[in-house]
Amino acid sequence: MAVHATHDLTREYRRTVPSTWWLKRRTYFLFMLRELTALFVGGYAAFLLVLLLLDQATFASVLKSPVSLVLHLIALPMVIYHSVTWINLTPKVLVIWRGEEQVSPTLILLVHYAAWGVISLAILGLAIWLCGGKTI
Amino acid sequence: MARIETTSKAVLDVFRYRPDEDSEPRFERFEVPFHEDWVVLDALHYIKDHLDGTLSYRWSCRMGICGSCGMMIDGEPKLSCSVFLRDYYPRPIRVEPLANFPVVRDLVINLEDFLDKLGQVKAWLIPKEPREAADGEYKQTPGELAHYRQYSMCINCMLCYSACPVYAKHPEFVGPAAIALAQRYNLDSRDAGFDERADAIFSHEGIWECTFVGDCTRVCPKHVDPAGAIQQAKVTATNDWFWSLLVPWGKRRSRAPAHEQNGGAAAGHRDAQQDQLVSSQSK
Amino acid sequence: MTRSNEPAVWSLFSAGGVVAAFVFPALMIVTGLAAFFGWVAPAELYSVLQHPLTRVCLFVCIALPLFHWAHRFRYTVADLGLEGHDKLLSIVCYGLASVGTLLAAVLLIFR
């Protein structure tokens, strides 16, 4: 690899990295937490898949079960953490140039958060409007 | 010889490794005079001048522009010329060589791998056609400059490589600075080397090993934002990939003729490395 | 080093990430809280899910996030210490996502 070495390469000291590396720094830990949200994203997608297999009665009893509530309550903060970290990284990926200037990253961020708000309200609103139960 | 007299002492725990004497590294504690305006580099100079002349470390400009004095200070990659003792005083400060590189001696690391990577990504201008000085200067608008200017601020200090957990585990990873520099040239209107660099950066060991931890951007003393550069490269690579899928006969992006590699050789590339690269081009 | 075909899975990962980010929290409130507390009636929700438009949306909400999970999980497992098994890991992760996608398509078309 080296074109010519000025020292004895066999005497170099190489430090090892433990598999607990992600616990050593706050930014690493938050990164790992972000990556682990994928489990809950995949988990909810699988849950939706399972719902498709059920008949109406089982469907209703599953959604009304305390187990479902608890699992949802555990997964919801993780999925929200996915949303927040995902949207926060969007300005780094979506770099748009208009002539000599870059479109403001803050603007891109605000637009995405606004879209998230609008889409979420639309889903909730649509659900309650189309499937409204007795208690609203 | 004038001695600096002061009552306050700052404490440094410095990583020591002497390949001819030690089989394992150790930490050595030094007490240096505490001054409000001293940085860690000043403390290291004091140690070398007055306490232990064998201490080895790299430094040059002492003003945060040459990129020579990178080291781990309390576990964080920093330029030792830019870290003030007063921000840690009176706690002892732990000083170690830059992480993720082999240690040659004390605080000196082997940075050959990084230099290799610079060659792999061809971190120099590859012009569209060969130019002579008589052809005159390149013309570039402020807007064209703005596209790559941020990435041109890299001082090759390698703090980003020390911060990157991917590079820590996968030394074949091309790494933050090299990819940011590839972007710097790809986005430069004078450059035509996009296709030349593609194999290096659009490979698995290039952008695709990055998992966007983002620590590289956090530690960069010049605000280059290599993480951003890598993600944008991923978008470019993806667009390129889909385009070549849909239009397989399509023209590849512009490239300079293979034999014109010395067109824009940047300062700091050793001749030996140039020869190696030129010979590997002609295959 | 050669150009990688990673864009194929990275684009699926990105699309899945976008779908999960924008749609999942609200959807989870619907299926997890609204249905449980009676803000929506499960029976009504069930009939809405039979509509072709809903089924198309559901497919997108299942398939893409599955690939998002697969891609991220593949890299996270390697980060956590299981090195050098990238090929096997990829086959397992993307394979599972593909099976889930296929199953979703079958169920949504034929049920």
What distance in Å separates the CA atoms of residue B172 and residue C110, rounded to the nearest whole number?
A: 48
Asked whether residue A40 falls in the same domain as residue A84, the answer is yes
Where do the structural domains in chain B lie, given as residue ranges? 9-109, 112-282
**Average confidence (pLDDT) over C5-30:** 97
Question: Based on the structure, what is the number of domains in chain A?
Answer: 2
| CB of B32 closer than 8 Å to CB of B111 | no
**Average confidence (pLDDT) over A69-84:** 98
Asked whether residue A25 falls in the same domain as residue A49, the answer is yes
- What would the CATH number be for the domain defined by B112-282? 1.10.1060.10
Give the largest CA-CA distance in chain C: 57
The pLDDT assigned to A133 comes to 66
CA distances from C105 to B7, B77, B154, B228 (A): 77, 49, 49, 36
Tell me the sheet residues that pair with C94: none
Q: Is C21 close to A86, i.e. CB distance below 8 A?
A: yes
Asked whether residue A82 falls in the same domain as residue A111, the answer is no
The pLDDT assigned to A7 comes to 82
The pLDDT assigned to B269 comes to 36
The pLDDT assigned to A71 comes to 97
Q: Which of C32, C45, C75 comes nearest A69 by C-beta? A: C32
* pTM given for the model: 0.89
Q: Is C3 close to B198, i.e. CB distance below 8 A?
A: yes
Q: Which of A43, A63, A79 comes nearest C42 by C-beta? A: A63
Joined together, the tokens standing for residue C28 give 């989870």
Top-tier CATH class for B9-109: alpha beta
Which residues lie below 8 Å from residue C90, measured CB to CB, with a gap of 6+? C74
Q: Which of C17, C28, C107 comes nearest A52 by C-beta? A: C107
Please say if the pLDDT value at position A1 is more than 60. Answer: no
Q: Is C79 close to B238, i.e. CB distance below 8 A?
A: no
CATH code of residue A30: 1.20.1300.10
Asked whether residue A78 falls in the same domain as residue A117, the answer is no
More confident residue, A8 or A95: A95
Q: Is A120 close to C22, i.e. CB distance below 8 A?
A: yes
Residue A10 within a domain: no
| CB of B107 closer than 8 Å to CB of B15 | yes
Joined together, the tokens standing for residue B175 give 């790494």
Please say if the pLDDT value at position C101 is more than 50. Answer: yes
The pLDDT assigned to B261 comes to 31
More confident residue, C50 or B187: B187
Chain C residues with beta carbon closer than 8 angstroms to that of A133: 34, 38-41, 44
Chains A and C form CB pairs within 8 A to the count of 170
B34-48: b (≥16 Cβ within 10 Å) or e: bbeebbbbbbbbbbe
| CB of A119 closer than 8 Å to CB of C23 | yes
The pLDDT assigned to B252 comes to 63
Asked whether residue A74 falls in the same domain as residue A118, the answer is no
**Average confidence (pLDDT) over C47-69:** 94
The pLDDT assigned to A59 comes to 94
- Helix, strand, or coil here: B45? helix
Asked whether residue A76 falls in the same domain as residue A121, the answer is no
Asked whether residue A37 falls in the same domain as residue A74, the answer is yes
Q: Is B206 close to C1, i.e. CB distance below 8 A?
A: yes
**Average confidence (pLDDT) over A94-104:** 89
By C-alpha distance, the chain A residue nearest B277 is A3
For residue C105, the distance in angstroms to the closest alpha carbon of chain B comes to 24
Instruction: Give backbone dihedrals phi and psi of B103, rounded to 5 degrees, phi first.
Output: -90, 125
- Helix, strand, or coil here: B125? strand
What distance in Å separates the CA atoms of residue B83 and residue B247, rounded to the nearest whole number?
A: 53
By C-alpha distance, the chain A residue nearest B165 is A21
Check for a shared fold between B9-109 and B112-282: no
What distance in Å separates the CA atoms of residue A82 and residue A87, rounded to the nearest whole number?
A: 8
B70-73 and B93-96: which strand pairing? antiparallel
Q: Which of A45, A76, A127 comes nearest C25 by C-beta? A: A76
Residue numbers of the domain that contains A60: 21-89
| ipTM attached to this prediction | 0.94
What distance in Å separates the CA atoms of residue B150 and residue C10, rounded to the nearest whole number?
A: 26
Cis before residue B171, ω within 30 degrees of 0? no
Q: How many CA atoms lie within 13 A of C108 on its CB side?
A: 23
pLDDT in 10s for each residue of chain B, 283 residues: 555 556 899 999 999 999 999 999 999 999 999 999 999 999 999 999 999 999 999 999 999 999 999 999 999 999 999 999 999 999 999 999 999 999 999 999 999 999 999 999 999 999 988 889 899 999 999 999 999 999 999 999 999 999 999 999 999 999 999 999 999 999 999 999 999 999 999 999 999 999 999 999 999 999 999 999 999 999 999 999 999 888 887 666 654 222 223 333 333 333 334 444 443 444 3
CB atoms within 10 A of CB C99: 11
| CB of B125 closer than 8 Å to CB of B182 | no
Q: Is B19 close to A7, i.e. CB distance below 8 A?
A: yes
